[in-house]
Amino acid sequence: MDNKKFPKVVIIGGGFGGIEVAKKLKDKEVDVLLLDRNNYHTFQPLLYQVATGTLEADSIAFPLRKMFKGQKNFKFRIADVTAIHPENKTLSTNIGDISYDYLVLATGATTNFFGNKQTEHFAMGMKNVREALNIRSYCLQNIEQALLAKTKEERLAHLNFVVVGAGPTGVELSGAIAELRNHILGKDYPELDTREMNVYLVEGLDKVLANLSPKASEKAALYLEELKVQIRLKTQVTGYDGNVITFADGSSIASKTVIWSAGVKGQFPEGIDPTVIVKGNRIQTDEFNRVKGLDAVFAIGDVAAVITDDTPRGHPGVAPVAQQQGRALAANLLRFMNGEAPEPFKYFDKGSMATIGRNKAVVDIGKIRFQGFFAWWVWMFVHLMSLIGFRNRLVTFINWLLSYVTFNGGIRLIIRPYQRTPLDETDQTK
Active site residues per annotation = 172
How many whole angstroms separate alpha carbon 335 and alpha carbon 125?
39
Cβ neighbours around 404 below 10 Å, total = 12
State the burial class of residue 99 (Cβ atoms within 10 Å of its Cβ: 0-12, 13-18, 19+). Answer: middle
> Hey, what's the torsion of the CAs at 174, 128, 14, 67, to 10 degrees?
-80
**Residue 395 near residue 410, CB atoms below 8 Å:** no
The distance between the two most distant Cα atoms of the chain, rounded to a whole number of Å, is 73
Q: Which of 331, 375, 327, 373 is nearest to 348 (CA)?
A: 327
